[in-house]
Structure 1
Amino acid sequence: MIIMMILSMIMIIISNIFIFLSFIISKKSLMDREKCSPFECGFDPKCLARIPFSLHFFLITMIFLIFDVEITLIFPIIPSFYLTNMIVWWKISSFFILMLLIGLYHEWNQNMLNWTN
């Protein structure tokens, strides 16, 4: 156990040394105005350099990611069935799935699940 703690401390110290060295050695300037501009050739841009962003597509992506994370949170419920009391397991899993269904209903009620506007 002590060997694991010593090795983890050594790895943390070595990684912090490398991070510190990379900040010292790097020549990147965070406040350079020319580097922050969309074109570095010296000319002013004639049109927007950024592509138009679809907020609706972004919200659908966030909903997908949230439900994807919730699916990964549901997976441990299945093996815990054999380790806990049946009534406690039923209450916890029912509460969790009820919260997911309430969130799904709210998103459906706000018309967030429509692909087109």
Structure 2
Amino acid sequence: MNTLMTTTLMAGGIATLVLMASIILPSKTSSQEKLSPYECGFAPKSNMRIPFSIRFFYIAILFIMFDLEIALLMPWPMALSNSLTTTPVMMALTIITALTISLLLEWATGALEWAE
């Protein structure tokens, strides 16, 4: 018998066993503690369905943009040392320019102001 076929049959058998165990074994009992939202061991203070402030999302998006900037610019010195063209410099300047413009727009709209 082929090793690929054996491996496939074993994987299928294990997947079937796990599926059957998940159907047969779980307890279906639920209590008030299980149905309530978990909030660090304390009783919830408010309704969990209330949406966050839009400023929170502005700051989160800003953080993600600058986090991506770091991820994109980290390999830049290596690309610069291995390239004789100005392509890596132009790419880095494009990224930095786009992020600077977005930061200025956020600043101008007041998204960075927490106190009103």
TM-score, normalized by length of structure 2? 0.55
Distance 1:51 1:86, change over 3 A: same
2-structure distance, mates of 1:113, 1:63: 9
Equivalent position of 1:91 in the other structure: 90
Equivalent position of 2:114 in the other structure: 115
Distance 1:61 1:92, change over 3 A: closer
Equivalent position of 2:41 in the other structure: none
Instruction: Give aligned-pair identity as a percent.
Output: 23
Distance 1:82 1:60, change over 3 A: same
In the alignment, residue 90 of structure 1 is paired with which amino acid? V
TM-score, normalized by length of structure 1? 0.55
- 1:30-80 residue CA offsets vs partner (Å, 9 max, x unmatched): xxxx9xx648xxxxxxx9532753332232123112211221111111111
What residue ranges of structure 1 are gaps of 5+ in the alignment? Answer: 1-5, 40-46
Q: Which has the larger radius of gyration?
A: 2
Equivalent position of 1:50 in the other structure: 48
Question: Do the aligned partners of 1:38 and 1:49 also contact (CA within 8 Å) in 2?
Answer: no
Distance 1:22 1:59, change over 3 A: farther
Aligned residues: 94
What residue ranges of structure 2 are gaps of 5+ in the alignment? Answer: 38-44
Higher relative contact order (CA 8 A, sep 6+): 2
